[in-house]
Amino acid sequence: MKGDHTKMRKTLFILGAIFGILIVSVSTAFAECRKEPGAQCQGAKLRGIDWRGAKLDGGNFQNADLEQANFAGASLKGAVLRGANLQQARLEQSDMSGANLDGADLRWANLENSNLVKTRFTNAQMAKSDLENADLSQAILTGADLTRADLVSADLQQADLQRVKLDGAYMAYANLKQANLTGASINRTRLIGARLKDATWIDGKVCKAPSIGSCK
């Protein structure tokens, strides 16, 4: 009986030590989630946080909960936001050039006038997002859902829009020169004044000049 108690004490001691290590590891991880370049915020719960104008270049926000967060005017160049929840987030006038948002949820997010040059949005959920006047040149949006998104006057030159859902999207006066729209869905998409010169259309056809508002 005494031996059983000894074994139980040893087991409890070991479990306590493991639990303590886990607590320290988690605490350390969240301690590194600071408002600074290179922030390590992967998996962090930051819903509604106000980091307007913050310098967060190269930060890691993979799978973080950033719903309704305010990053207006912030710099997130080269940041990792794969799988992050950014629903209704404010990202207007932010610089996210070269960032990775593959699989992120950006539904209803505000990205007006933001710098998204060479940014990745593969398979991202972006329905009803606001991208008016955003610079998405050379961005990768393969397989993204942009249903009813606002892309008025957005710069999408050389962007990869293969298999993107653009149903009901507003793309008036957008720059789509040399963009690749192969396999994209464009039911009820508004393309008034959109520039499509040298773009690859949904059927693989290359649009001839001037191709304004439709692919010629």
**Residue 4 — pLDDT band, cuts 50, 70, 90?**
low
Within-domain flag for 12: yes
For the segment 55-107, what is each residue's pLDDT rounded down to a tens digit?
Answer: 999 999 999 999 999 999 999 999 999 999 999 999 999 999 999 999 999 99
Query: Is 73 within the bounds of a domain?
Result: no
Residues of the domain holding 6: 1-31
* The pLDDT of residue 126: 98
Q: Is residue 2 part of a domain?
A: yes
- For the chain, how many structural domains are there in total? 1
Is 50 exceeded by the pLDDT of residue 29? no
Beta bridge partners of 206: 200
Supply 77's token pair.
Answer: 């160049």
What's the confidence (pLDDT) of residue 164?
Answer: 98
Q: Is residue 172 part of a domain?
A: no
Find the DSSP H helices in 32-115.
Answer: none
**Banded pLDDT at 27 (limits 50, 70, 90):** very low
Is 86 within the bounds of a domain?
no
What pLDDT sits at residue 95? Answer: 98
Closest among 186, 187, 209 to 199, alpha carbons compared: 209
Give burial (CB, 10 Å; 0-12/13-18/19+) of 5: exposed
> Can you tell me the distance from the alpha carbon of 37 to that of 135, in angstroms, rounded to the nearest whole number?
22
CA 180 to CA 9: how far, in whole Å? 65
Show Cβ contacts of residue 18 under 8 Å, excluding neighbours closer than 6 positions: none
| Residue 16, φ and ψ in degrees, nearest 5 | -65, -40
Reported as a single tens digit per residue, the pLDDT across 135-193 is 999 999 999 999 999 999 999 999 999 999 999 999 999 999 999 999 999 999 999 99
Band (8; pLDDT cuts 50, 70, 90) = low
**pTM summary value:** 0.86
Residue 109 lies inside a defined structural domain of this protein: no
Residue 1 lies in a domain: yes
Residue 211 located in a structural domain: no
Residues β-bridged to residue 180:
160, 200
